[in-house]
Amino acid sequence: MSRGVITSADVALRAGVSRSAVSRCFTPGASVSSKTRGRVMEAAQALGYRPNAIARSLNKGRSRMIAVVLGYMDNPFYPAMLERLAARLQACGYRLLLFTAKPDGSCDELFSEILVYQVDGIILGSILLTSALAQRCRAARIPLVLVNRTTDDRVVSSVTADNRNGARAVADFLLAGGHKRFAYVAGLASSSTNHDRETAFRKRLTEAGVSAFIREEGAYTREGAQDAARRLLQRPRPPDAIFCANDHMALAVMDVARFELGLRVPEDVSIVGYDDVASAAWPSYRLTTVEQPVDVMAQAAVDSLMGRIEGGQRGGEQVRIPGELVVRDSARRPASGIVTVDGQDLWRPRERMKARAKA
Partner DNA sequence: AGAGTAATTGCACACGTGTGCAAGCTTTTC
Partner DNA sequence: GAAAAGCTTGCACACGTGTGCAATTACTCT
- The contact set with DNA (CB under 7 A) reads 3, 5, 7-9, 17-21, 23-24, 26-27, 30-36, 49, 51-52, 55-56, 58-61
Pick one of 19, 164, 231, 258: the residue that binds its own copies (CB under 8 A): 258
Q: Which does 19 bind (CB under 5 to 8 A by kind): its own copies, DNA, none?
A: DNA
Least distance CB 120 / DNA (angstroms): 14
Q: Cα separations (Å) of 341 from 163, 326, 345, 356?
A: 22, 10, 6, 17
Pick one of 58, 132, 155, 189: the residue that binds its own copies (CB under 8 A): 58
Distance CA 297, CA 20 (A): 42
- Orientation of helix 247-255 relative to helix 222-233, angle to 10°: 50
Least distance CB 141 / DNA (angstroms): 12
Site mask for its own copies (CB under 8 A), range 68-87, x = bound: x---xxx-x-xxx-xx--xx
Cα torsion through 198, 203, 204, 207, rounded to 10: 160
Q: H-helix or E-strand containing 344?
A: strand 344-347
Binding of its own copies at residue 113 (CB under 8 A)?
A: yes
Query: Total residues at the site for its own copies (CB under 8 A)?
Result: 54
By CB under 8 A, what part of segment 1-30 binds its own copies? 4-5
Binding of its own copies at residue 300 (CB under 8 A)?
A: no
Cα torsion through 345, 263, 248, 171, rounded to 10: 50
Cβ neighbour number for residue 113 with a 10 Å cutoff = 12
Quick one: 68 or 128, whose CB is closer to its own copies?
68
Pick one of 33, 139, 152, 335: the residue that binds its own copies (CB under 8 A): 139
Distance CA 312, CA 124 (A): 21
Backbone Cα Rg of the chain: 26
Q: What is the DSSP letter of 328?
A: -
Binding of its own copies at residue 111 (CB under 8 A)?
A: no
Pick one of 9, 30, 53, 355: the residue that binds its own copies (CB under 8 A): 53
Quick one: 189 or 282, whose CB is closer to its own copies?
282
